[in-house]
Chains A and B, each alone.
Chain A
Amino acid sequence: MTVVAEQRELRDDGLSGLELSARLDSIWRTPSGLLGALMSVDHKVVGRRYIVTAFAFLLLGGILAILMRIQLAGPEKTFLSADKYNQIFTMHGSTMMFLFAVPVMEAFAVYLVPLMVGTRNIAFPRLNAFSYWMFLFGGCFLWISFALNVGPDVGWFAYVPLSLLQYTPTKRPDVWAQMITFTEVAALAVSVEIVVTVFKLRAPGMTLDRIPLFVWAMLVTAFLVMFAMPAIMVASTSLILDRLVNTRFYDSSSGGHPLLWQHLFWFFGHPEVYIIFIPGTGMVSAILATFARRPVIGYPIVILSLIATGFLSFGLWVHHMFVTGLPQLGAGLFTASSMLIAVPSGLQIFCWLATLWDGRPVYRTPLLFVIGFIAIFVLGGLSGVMVASVPIDTQVHDTYFVVAHFHYVLIGGAVFPLIGAVYYWFPKITGRMLSERLGRWNFWLAFVGFNLAFFPMHILGLIGMPRRIYTYTADMDWAHLNLLSSGGAVVFALSFALLLVNVIISLRAGALAGDNPWDASTLEWATASPPPPQNFDRIPVVKHRDPLWFDNGTLPVVAGLSVERREVLLTSLAEAEPQIREASPEPSIWPLLTAIATTVFFIGSIFTPWAVLWGTPPMAVTLIGWFWPGGSKEDEE
């Protein structure tokens, strides 16, 4: 960089107040119009789209759940045929896991992490836009297939040999396997962005022990995604190959083995649960600190627990396979390793209880959801300890007991914190508050409905009801509990309808929020609600774990970033000392075009292996367009 350039470039230390805001706004703003919207690389725009899309898939998955509960409400109902039921439960599981739970957590991270670490945009913003388009196209592809009656019907776990060509000659499992690939691409991209954002884009002074707990949770989650996703990538690609070009990875008559699938699937599938749950704990920590009116007790314990949970989650996939005829001693060891995860989870809960105990809690809707979370999640965790025990698992595996267990863990552990998070961050994202009165109704409907819907399933499983059956006879004595469960499901669904109503009403007529309506402590509340395109007019300097509480009013800031082009400040990994200014990419249409080309390639390769040949040139062209070197001002000097 020459001295001349240095002098010509206008930096934020040369401006102040409104002029600074206006200039930053104009260079960071997403271009107007439809084309501008399609080009956006603002993490807030992408994050909002991500959140809304994920919730749309929640709605669709929830409708399927209700359809299943209608079918199972009584014995020998003919509301759904066997074929439809199998498609519906497969779509419900796949939608909830791959199109809702994981993406919604990533969506919150995409929106919040850059704000919480005090930077202007996420690392790799174009990759971020690409990731969203891939997620959207993958999800639409799955649902359009379902509408055209080629929706997958072999379960969200798609066990071989049932999902092989021989037993399912339709295109249904291909649709499923390719949808997995879409979401893998999206999830991996977001993980890389989160890791780099947290490690390199933190505000000066935000040392590792000053990072907000939510950000820590998302960091650990990002690493889990990066290590777990390759397993399912290998698995689903091998499945596609077996089906399309007649390889024999899973064919036991030719030296393959069906259990290979299960090992690969669950090596991904169990960490997947923590990929969903750990962000939930991050949300709990954020909400709890704000409403208990004190920082979470045991900050280092919580972080170590998160990391330990992450590590342990890779050592217990075998507990999904206890009834596949594994050696007994090995299975016994996996019992111990599975139960061990109760220790870090327990430690986190003890820290939260201590926080609540010592705090002066303000009982607003977000905190209600956190309290509901503790009651439900602990129960789910304890039934998880049961499921981890080999002898007990041989009875309850693949029954409604397990259905009850993982809904307690996933809804209790992730969805309750998530709804709390919606109430908590809605003012930040939209600038308006959600109605507190409707919020309380929402909570109680959700809490009562959830327990009515899922608690009876524990008993149903113990009295012999297997999973994934579309009907049962009256003499099995399952009818009453199923009816109760279906009624509970309707109440639970109503709570989501109420949330939707609350969101719609509040978007138009909610009370204005102001910058920091809850008097929270982390950086995302240090800027306007909703945040301006540049997030912060000046990058804050962090001197404390809870900067808005204990830094005596005004935050110190750094100056020196350009106001003529998009620039972010890179800091050192551990101590977050400022290192260099780095250009942040401009809006671009290429991520969208690349996603379209990739989609054509992925869908084409379901029908013909030749798509690998003709599908890649368009991808190459769009990628070249994406990475075509554009000159920066400094280079032109």
Chain B
Amino acid sequence: MPVRMRTALVPFATLPLAACAGRQSALDPQGLQSDQILRNFLIFLIVGAVVWIAVLIVLCVGMLRRKRAADQPLALHHSFEQTTGRVVFALGVATLVIVLGLSIVSYAGQRTVFAKDENALTLKIIGHQWWWEVRYEDDSPDKSFVTANEIRIPTGQPVKVELESADVIHSFWVPSLTGKMDLITGQKNELQFTAKNAGVYRGQCAEFCGLQHAHMAFAVLALSADEFGRWRDHENQSASSPTDPLGKQGEQLFRARGCALCHTIRGTLAGGQLGPDLTHVGSRTTIAAGTLPMTPATLGGWIADPQHIKPGNYMPKMPLQSDELIAILHYLEQLK
């Protein structure tokens, strides 16, 4: 099918699908790659629908053609068998042609989707049970930083994510932007995509990775280039020290109660490597890998009893007094 015709078909065919757009929908593409994939899908959908309807028509006509059942089984007629053989052969050839055509369409789409841009913004994503480590790496180490469960990218610029796993196999998937790619222990995979418009796109782990596979989501925030630059500069800085007494108490408790064994807060003595980096946790939009929106209430509930919200995750329930909890919560909220 020529390219122009394909493009012409898209608005026509997407019309009934538009109602299906959700928070992470492949039918509502916001990236160059997801756009291309949807175009490919629609071609397959149209061809498939035509074939299916044709088969059903032949089936129905064949069923209704003769009303009267035969008393005696019908013998084969050699000439009829020959004619039918030719028809079946022709249909077989037609199937082959359709299949080869679709293979070519598929390969052309694949080339576009997986095209590489050398100037892409590169970041590294490491999958953990059950959260995402996001590393913005730069040639100069003082511009590299680590965050978690939230990816901010500039719109219009190709982004390359390098994918690795710290434990089991996960799969990185933001349907609005592009298809998925696995994160596999002992292997480095990569995926490129370009967000067309600013917005918040939800992503989710797609490969079964154990108990809390259902709660391993993340957000992609596509920002304008300026906004992204400002965010990056800010994120690169260490956490600001709290100035109020409650915040100071919280910072101290964060270390004293063992939080710092697993979590890093840059610029402080907290340097744990097991859990997400919390340097700017207060500015994130969700907690617990996209499980709940970030509000004081949800964050407090999470610290008080993480096993209740996400049973089986690796954050233990810490014995905290309620005033200690309030102080730690107050401290974390300030980390913006």
Contacts and interface: CB of A to CB of B under 8 A. Distances in A.
B109 interface: yes
Contacts of B27: 462-463
Interface string A205-240: 000000000000000000000000000000000000
Given A389-B106, A466-B173, A476-B22, 16 more contacts: A82-B212, A86-B213, A253-B186, A258-B169, A294-B73, A323-B179, A325-B187, A353-B59, A354-B88, A356-B59, A375-B59, A389-B102, A389-B109, A391-B110, A394-B179, A398-B208
B320 interface: no
Interface in A127-168: 154-155, 159, 161-162, 167-168
Interface stretch (A185-193, A378-386, A559-567, A591-599): A378-386
B297 interface: no
B204 A466 contact: yes
Contact of A391 (B36, B63, B99, B168): B36
Contacts of B34: 395
22 contacts: A161-B167, A161-B185, A162-B210, A259-B184, A325-B163, A325-B190, A328-B111, A336-B103, A340-B96, A353-B62, A358-B74, A358-B84, A359-B74, A378-B52, A389-B44, A389-B103, A391-B112, A396-B26, A398-B207, A472-B214, A476-B22, A477-B22
B175 A464 contact: yes
A459 B167 CA distance: 32
A294 B76 contact: yes
A335 B81 contact: no
A360 B62 CA distance: 10
Contacts of A328: 110-111, 114
A390 B282 CA distance: 39
A367 B135 CA distance: 60
- Name the 4 nearest CB pairs between A and B, nearest first: A394-B179, A252-B186, A464-B24, A325-B189
Nearest to B90: A350
B84 A298 contact: yes
Interface in A337-353: 339-340, 342-343, 346-347, 349-351, 353
A481 to B, nearest CB: 9
B92 to A, nearest CB: 5
A331 interface: yes
A263 to B, nearest CB: 13
A360 B69 contact: yes
Interface string B15-36: 0010011111111000000101
B318 interface: no
A470 interface: yes
Given A358-B84, A371-B59, A395 B175 contact: yes
Contact of B312 (A82, A339, A389, A471): A82
A498 B34 CA distance: 45
Q: Classify the interface of chain A: helix, strand, loop or mixed.
A: helix
A391 B109 contact: yes
Contact of A378 (B55, B74, B106, B111): B55
A362 B69 contact: yes
Contacts of A584: none
Contacts of A471: 214
B87 A354 contact: yes
B73 A162 contact: no
Given A332-B107, A360-B66, A392 B180 contact: no
B277 interface: no
Contact of B113 (A161, A357, A391): A391
Interface in A394-437: 394-399
Contacts of A347: 88, 91-92, 95
B51 A371 contact: no
Given A398-B180, A470-B214, A385 B167 contact: no
Given A293-B73, A346-B91, A379-B52, A478 B84 contact: no
B59 to A, nearest CB: 6
A391 B179 contact: yes
B41 interface: yes
Contact of A335 (B21, B106, B113): B106
Interface string A77-88: 000011100100
Interface in B191-226: 202, 204-214
Contacts of B36: 391
A356 B62 CA distance: 6
Nearest to A162: B168
A469 interface: yes
B296 interface: no
A79 to B, nearest CB: 14
A469 B175 contact: no
B23 A475 contact: yes
B265 to A, nearest CB: 28
B22 to A, nearest CB: 4
Interface in B132-176: 163, 167-169, 171, 173, 175
B5 interface: no
A487 interface: no
Interface residues of B, number: 94
A44 to B, nearest CB: 27
Interface string B91-134: 11001101110110111011111100000000000000100000
B3 to A, nearest CB: 15
B75 interface: yes
Nearest to A520: B73
A395 B109 CA distance: 13
Contacts of A325: 163, 181-182, 184, 187-190
A13 interface: no
Contact of B26 (A395, A476, A521): A395
Contacts of A298: 81, 84-85, 88
Given A389-B102, A398-B180, A463-B25, A343 B95 contact: yes
A395 B52 contact: no
Contact of B55 (A323, A349, A388): A349
Contacts of B68: 360
A38 B184 CA distance: 49
Contacts of A257: 186-187
B10 interface: no
B102 A323 contact: no
A390 B214 contact: no
A394 B84 CA distance: 40
B8 interface: no
B26 to A, nearest CB: 4
A519 B73 CA distance: 9
Contact of A301 (B76, B88, B179): B88
A392 B204 contact: no
B327 interface: no
Given A253-B186, A358-B74, A335 B107 contact: yes
B164 to A, nearest CB: 11
B12 interface: no
Nearest to B292: A473
Nearest to A386: B44
Contacts of A614: none
Given A294-B76, A361-B63, A385-B44, A336 B100 contact: yes
A371 B61 CA distance: 13
B99 A385 contact: yes
B241 to A, nearest CB: 36
Contacts of A361: 63, 66, 69
A335 B111 CA distance: 13
B247 to A, nearest CB: 32
Contacts of A472: 214
A632 to B, nearest CB: 43
Nearest to B109: A391
Interface in A98-114: none
A462 B92 contact: no
